[in-house]
Structures are given as structure tokens and as C-alpha cells.
């Protein structure tokens, strides 16, 4: 099998200075997960499993993300050429093909990776992915002679004339295992940044009598992320792809541009999503579900025929069963909302099991945290919780029970019971006229005193 003869090197040790962040560059997220995870998934989709990642010391705490692959620590970041060199040293026996990817170029497709490898298998010494970008940019420029790559000149070392060349280097390349060590060992740091540029390998291969082919692909696929503006650009590209994909599968997006998905969002059939809705990671939505505008969902399951929002927030651990209604300004966290239940207005439901067909009145809060511990609220089936109730957890409310408006539930309520908090409500019959006159007089006097 082709893939067994191919080893992959992913460069991910760069400081990412241009991000102006304490987070290592490749750990910045795109569609809800670190950009390096997108690269790893694409490599694995392409069928490669022999992978070496070059990482910096800041990434040590993220090592689980890279399992089961091998990581090599680049202590001194001396450039992309140096990073490849230390990866090769760690690899031992050379495979037939080496595929090199940059961790900051996460939108590349598996098919283009395979294409590069095929070119090497067909006898080329190396092959790279190039793309056209007409706007001013800092990508290395790819110079072609006799339909092969002659050289790459980094933007920081290029003359204004050279910068007019709009064929750019994606950084992704495949190199024959027969020549790579010899070529990489010849890379020097005689450039404006005093770094060992991997891109110099092209001229070196030429000098040694070899050839570098290139494949042109779309600039969207090759976007390299060096700063927050690039990150936003990549996010826009990936979101556009997800939106299109979902719409092609029958999802209705009322305003596609304002809906954001995560890499793992699952949506069933006949789902309708209103504007300004954000899907964080871990959301799965069943069929015939309406998510009205301005909702935020994260690590939540929404089952068939539910209606969510507008303005609802489903936090991690939320399970919404079939035919549930979650209305405006409702927050649900770590709770099971059983089929047919309704939480329609202004409520917080946390660490709760809400039984089938139960209704939570407007303004109700589950007081699940006493400053030290989180506690559970269990509400049975067909329960009616009156508006503005406070359910002080841990507490259990039995099936078919009712709480009055404003009830503070501190003790368990058995099945089929009515519970109200009696406050002393005093009513003076016929006193309204006198009360209003007194109020008017007082306001007049207050104004005169000013
Ligand atoms: C690089 C290319 C440029 C190309 C562009 C595409 C070089 C010299 N230049 O420029 O031709 O157009 O990518 O996006 O390769 N890294 C290490 N160790 C290092 C330096 C970098 O692991 O010592 C990693 C970074 O984490 C990053 C990748 O290599 O993932 C590329 O490095 P970066 O500094 O972003 O290179 P660019 O300036 O973008
Ligand atoms: Mg870069």
C-alpha cells in the first residue's frame, strides 16, 4: 500500500510571534478545535499513520493531542529547514516518500496530499503545492522554469519586482526519501532572518541535478495562519464550507453567514436554524428540530422535534429529549430534559433531571450551587413549577406536583402535592385612592424642595 512507504513530518514548533499570544500558534482554534488537530485529521484521512510532529517546549502540556504519533522537540527554533532536519534525524530508516506539512496550514485537503505523494512515486525528486494570491502577502514566491520549480524566494528576501510574482508557496511538499537528507543538510542560514529555510531545498535539488514539480491549488486551501487576521480568514473559509455542506444535506439556514459550526457538529434531517446561532464542540441535533435565532449550544444533545430558542443557551451535559420546548432567555446546564417538557421563559436549569411533560414557569431558578458544592434537582413527570420558583438543591419534586408562583422549595415535595411559600400578603380594601393622593402630595413637596 502506498501510504506505508510514506512518512509525514508536521512542523508545529514555531513561536507564532505574529499572533501576539501566550498560546502556541498551532493550538489556536478553528471551528472549535486546535488548528493542529485539523492537520492531523487530514493526514489520517489521506491514509498516513507514520507521523512525526516537530513541537516546541510550550506544547509539552498538550502532548495527549499528538498521541499516538511521535513528537520531536525543537529546542532552538532555527527555521523550517532545521525543523525538518531534526525530524529526519529522529526517524531512523528513510521511507520512500516524505510528506512535509506546516501546522499553521490547516485547510489543506487529503486529496492534494495524496497527489503530491503520487508525483514522487512517479519518479519526481520533490513536489510542492502552490497557489495564486494577487493581494499583497508574505508568502514565499515560487519561480517556475521549464514547467518545474526553479527556486522559492521568501517575501522578506524578495525584491519588489520578485514580489510581483503571484505564485505562492503553501509550504506543503513531498520529497523523495532518497535525496532528502542530503538536500536538507545543505540548507544554510544566509538570509535576512538568519534561519534555515526549508524552501531553499528547491534550489539545492536543482543544483544537484534533480527536479521539483508543483501542483496548483486554491488559495483557500493553502491559507497559512501567522496572525489573528489570517486566523479569522481561515475561520471564515471553513465555516463557509460547513454551511454549504449542511445546506446541501437539507439543513435550512435562515441567514447562513451568521451561523457558526464546530468541526464535529451533527445535524439531522429537516433542521431549521435561525440567525446568529453558534454551535460549540460536541453538539448533536436530531431531525425536525427548530433552533431559533441567537442560540448558543455546546456539548449538548437535542432530540427530534424539539424547539430551542430564540436566545437559549445549552451548556455542556445538556440532553434535550423529543418534543421539548426551550424558550427565550433560558440556560440549561448538565441536565436531562425529558420528552414533552417545557422551559419556555427566563429560567436557569442546572444539574437537573426534569421529567416528561413537566413545565417550568418563567423566572424559575435551580439553586444548584451553595458556594461549595453543586447539587442535583430531580423533578418528576407532569410537574408544574410556578413562575419565579427557586428550587434549592439537593431537592426532589414528585410526579404530578405543583408549586405556586414564587415558591422557595427547600424540602422534598412528594408526588401529587401542592407547595406554596406563604408570605404575609396584606390587602386594604378601598385604600387605593387615599394612597395615590398621598403619593401625589409627596412628589409635589419633593419637587418644591429642590
Ligand atoms: C512559510 C514558508 C513560506 C510559505 C509559508 C506558507 C519557509 C521558510 N517559508 O513561511 O515560503 O509561503 O510558510 O504558509 O518555510 N516552524 C517550526 N520550527 C521553526 C520554524 C517554523 O516548527 O523553526 C513551523 C511553524 O510552527 C509553522 C511552520 O513551521 O507551523 C511554518 O513556519 P512560519 O514561521 O509560519 O513560516 P512562514 O513565515 O509562514
Ligand atoms: Mg506560517
Q: What are phi and psi of 377, to 5 degrees?
A: -120, 130
Q: Which of 170, 188, 216 is the last residue of a domain?
A: 216
Residue 448 located in a structural domain: no
Q: What is the 3-state secondary structure (H, E, C) of the chain?
A: CHHHHEEEEEEECCCCHHHCCCCCHHHCEECCEEHHHHHHHHHHHCCCCCEEEEECHHHHHHHHHHCCCEEEECCCCCCHHHHHHHHHHHHCCCCCEEEEEECCCCCCCHHHHHHHHHHHHCCCCEEEEEEECCCCCCCCEEEEECCEEEEEECHHHCCHHHHCCCEEEEEEEEEECCCHHHHHHCCCCCCCCCCCCHHHHHHHHHHCCCCEEEEECCHHHHCCCCCHHHHHHHHHHHHHHHHHHHHHCCCEECCHHHCECCCCCEECCCCEECCCCEECCCCEECCCCEECCCCEECCEEECCCCEECCCEEECCCEEECCCCEEEEEEEEECCEECCCCEEEEEEEEECEEECCCCEECCCCEEECECCCCECCEEECCCCEECCCCEEECCEEECCCCEECCCCEECCCECCCCEECCCCCCCCCCCCHHHHHHHHHHHHHHHHHHC
Residues 203 and 259 both lie in one domain:
no
| Pocket flag, ligand 1, residue 129 (CB < 6 Å) | no
Which range is least confidently modeled, 59-73, 81-95, 262-276? 59-73
pLDDT at 3 over 70: no
Looking at residue 69, which CATH number applies to its domain? 3.90.550.10
Residues 60 and 198 both lie in one domain:
yes
Which amino acid residue places its CA nearest to atom 33 of ligand 1?
14
Q: Supply the pLDDT for residue 213.
A: 98
pLDDT at 87 over 60: yes
Q: Which distant-in-sequence residues (6+ apart) come within 8 Å of 383 by Cβ?
A: 355, 358, 359, 397, 398, 399, 400, 401, 402
Q: What is the tens place of the pLDDT at every residue in 205-259? A: 999 999 999 999 999 999 999 999 999 999 999 999 999 999 999 999 999 999 9
Residue 379 located in a structural domain: yes
Residue 442 located in a structural domain: no
Residues 196 and 281 both lie in one domain:
no
| Pocket flag, ligand 1, residue 154 (CB < 6 Å) | yes
Looking at residue 308, which CATH number applies to its domain? 2.160.10.10
Residues 287 and 411 both lie in one domain:
yes
Residues 211 and 250 both lie in one domain:
no
Share of the chain above pLDDT 70, in %: 99
Which amino acid residue places its CA nearest to atom 13 of ligand 1?
171
Residues 188 and 259 both lie in one domain:
no
What are the cell numbers at 160? 519588489
| Pocket flag, ligand 1, residue 56 (CB < 6 Å) | no
361-382 average pLDDT score:
97
345 carries an active-site annotation: yes
Q: Supply the pLDDT for residue 4.
A: 55
| Pocket flag, ligand 1, residue 388 (CB < 6 Å) | no
**Ligand 1 atom nearest to 105, measured from its CA:** 14
Q: What is the tens place of the pLDDT at every residue in 341-350? A: 999 999 999 9
Q: Supply the pLDDT for residue 427.
A: 86
Q: Among all ligands shown, which has an atom nearest to the Cα of 173?
A: 1
| Pocket flag, ligand 1, residue 18 (CB < 6 Å) | no
Residues 196 and 269 both lie in one domain:
no
Residues 191 and 290 both lie in one domain:
no
Mutation to probe ligand 1, out of 40, 80, 130, 192 (largest number of atoms < 8 A from CB): 80
Chain mean pLDDT for the chain: 96
Residues 324 and 406 both lie in one domain:
yes
| Pocket flag, ligand 1, residue 285 (CB < 6 Å) | no
- Read off the pTM: 0.93
Where in the sequence is the domain holding 66, given as residue range(s)?
Answer: 3-216
Mutation to probe ligand 1, out of 171, 173, 175 (largest number of atoms < 8 A from CB): 171
Which amino acid residue places its CA nearest to atom 11 of ligand 1?
140
Q: Which of 182, 216, 250 is the last residue of a domain?
A: 216
Which amino acid residue places its CA nearest to atom 21 of ligand 1?
14
Residues 212 and 172 both lie in one domain:
yes
* C-alpha 82 to ligand 1 mean position (Å): 11
Residue 134 located in a structural domain: yes
Q: Supply the pLDDT for residue 426.
A: 87
Q: Supply the pLDDT for residue 187.
A: 98
Q: Supply the pLDDT for residue 369.
A: 94
Q: What is the tens place of the pLDDT at every residue in 111-138? A: 999 999 999 999 999 999 999 999 999 9
Q: Supply the pLDDT for residue 1.
A: 41
* C-alpha 61 to ligand 1 mean position (Å): 22
pLDDT at 109 over 90: yes
- Name the active-site residue from 73, 115, 299, 345: 345
* C-alpha 147 to ligand 2 mean position (Å): 26
Q: Which of 166, 184, 216 is the last residue of a domain?
A: 216
* C-alpha 78 to ligand 2 mean position (Å): 14
User: What domain count does the chain have?
Assistant: 2
Amino acid at each position: 500500500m502506498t501510504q506505508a512507504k510514506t512518512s509525514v513530518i508536521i512542523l508545529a514548533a514555531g513561536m507564532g510571534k505574529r499572533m501576539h499570544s501566550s498560546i502556541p500558534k498551532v493550538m489556536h482554534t478553528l471551528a472549535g478545535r486546535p488548528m493542529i488537530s485539523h492537520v492531523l485529521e487530514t493526514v489520517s484521512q489521506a491514509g498516513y499513520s507514520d507521523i512525526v510532529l516537530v513541537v516546541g517546549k510550550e506544547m509539552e502540556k498538550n502532548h495527549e493531542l499528538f498521541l499516538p504519533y511521535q513528537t520531536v522537540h525543537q529546542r532552538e527554533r532555527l527555521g523550517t529547514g532545521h525543523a525538518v532536519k531534526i525530524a529526519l534525524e529522529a526517524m531512523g530508516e528513510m521511507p520512500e516518500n516524505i510528506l512535509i506539512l506546516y501546522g499553521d496550514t490547516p485547510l489543506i485537503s487529503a486529496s492534494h496530499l495524496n497527489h503530491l505523494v503520487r508525483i514522487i512515486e512517479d519518479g519526481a525528486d520533490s513536489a510542492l503545492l502552490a497557489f495564486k494570491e494577487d493581494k499583497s502577502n508574505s508568502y514565499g514566491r515560487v519561480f517556475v522554469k521549464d514547467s518545474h520549480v526553479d527556486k522559492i524566494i521568501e517575501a522578506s528576501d524578495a525584491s519588489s519586482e520578485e514580489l510581483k510574482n503571484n505564485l505562492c508557496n503553501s509550504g506543503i511538499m513531498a520529497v523523495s526519501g532518497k535525496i532528502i537528507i542530503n538536500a536538507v543538510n545543505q540548507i544554510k542560514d544566509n538570509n535576512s532572518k538568519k534561519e534555515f529555510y526549508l524552501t531553499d531545498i528547491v534550489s539545492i535539488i536543482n543544483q544537484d541535478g534533480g527536479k521539483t514539480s508543483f501542483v496548483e491549488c486554491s488559495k483557500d486551501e493553502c491559507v497559512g495562519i501567522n496572525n489573528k487576521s489570517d486566523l479569522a480568514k481561515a475561520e471564515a473559509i471553513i465555516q463557509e464550507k460547513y454551511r454549504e455542506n449542511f445546506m446541501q444535506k437539507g439543513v435550512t439556514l435562515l441567514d447562513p453567514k451568521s451561523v457558526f459550526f464546530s468541526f464535529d457538529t451533527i445535524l439531522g434531517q429537516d433542521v431549521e436554524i435561525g440567525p446568529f446561532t453558534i454551535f460549540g464542540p460536541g453538539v448533536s441535533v436530531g431531525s425536525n428540530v427548530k433552533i431559533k435565532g441567537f442560540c448558543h449550544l455546546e456539548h449538548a444533545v437535542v432530540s427530534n422535534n424539539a424547539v430551542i430558542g430564540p436566545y437559549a443557551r445549552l451548556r455542556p451535559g445538556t440532553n434535550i429529549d423529543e418534543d421539548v420546548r426551550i424558550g427565550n432567555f433560558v440556560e440549561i446546564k448538565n441536565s436531562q430534559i425529558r420528552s414533552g417538557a417545557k422551559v419556555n421563559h427566563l429560567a436557569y436549569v442546572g444539574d437537573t433531571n426534569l421529567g416528561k411533560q413537566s413545565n417550568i414557569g418563567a423566572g424559575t431558578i435551580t439553586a444548584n450551587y451553595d458556594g461549595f458544592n453543586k447539587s442535583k434537582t430531580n423533578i418528576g413527570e407532569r410537574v408544574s413549577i410556578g413562575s419565579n420558583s427557586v428550587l434549592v438543591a439537593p431537592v426532589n419534586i414528585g410526579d404530578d406536583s405543583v408549586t405556586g408562583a414564587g415558591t422557595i422549595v427547600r424540602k422534598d415535595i412528594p408526588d401529587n402535592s401542592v407547595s406554596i411559600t406563604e408570605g404575609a400578603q396584606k390587602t386594604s380594601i378601598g385604600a387605593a385612592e387615599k394612597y395615590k393622593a398621598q403619593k401625589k402630595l409627596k412628589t409635589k413637596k419633593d419637587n418644591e424642595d429642590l
